[in-house]
Amino acid sequence: MERERFEALVGAALKRLPTRFRRALHNIAIMVEDRPPRGRNLLGIYQGVPLDRRGSWYGNVPPDVIVIYQEPIERLGVSDQDIEAKIRTVVLHEIGHYFGLDEETLADIERDLDY
């Protein structure tokens, strides 16, 4: 899939988030890269200080970053629809980390998703 199309699907996944969650996203950059660093088996990653762990000290900092990795996601999908669904799941998962959710909680949420 061409990068432009993949990035558009990432953008569409963000737009599908409930408004209250989209409005709560501040100082965050969402990027697409080809693949994770060597030796890392990732579809996406959140790098930053989760919202629920920020205190009065938090300010004047660079943006948190979510990176979505195109190649490993594409390898999981048979069709464009599969890839689109996986992008939505990965974006939601990484946004969950931004809000401070742990892997166990996110796994529970993802089991119940019809996203």
Summarize pLDDT for 34-57 with one digit per residue, the tens.
999 999 999 999 999 999 988 888
DSSP string, 11-60: HHHHHTS-HHHHHT--SEEEEEESSPSTT---SEEEES--GGG--TT--S
Question: Tell me, what amino acid is at 51?
Answer: L
Reduced to 3 states (helix: H, G, I; strand: E, B; else coil), residue 18 is coil
- For residue 108 the two structure tokens come to 């529970």
Domains and CATH numbers, the chain: 3-51+65-111 (3.30.2010.20)
Tell me the pTM.
0.90
pLDDT of residue 69: 98
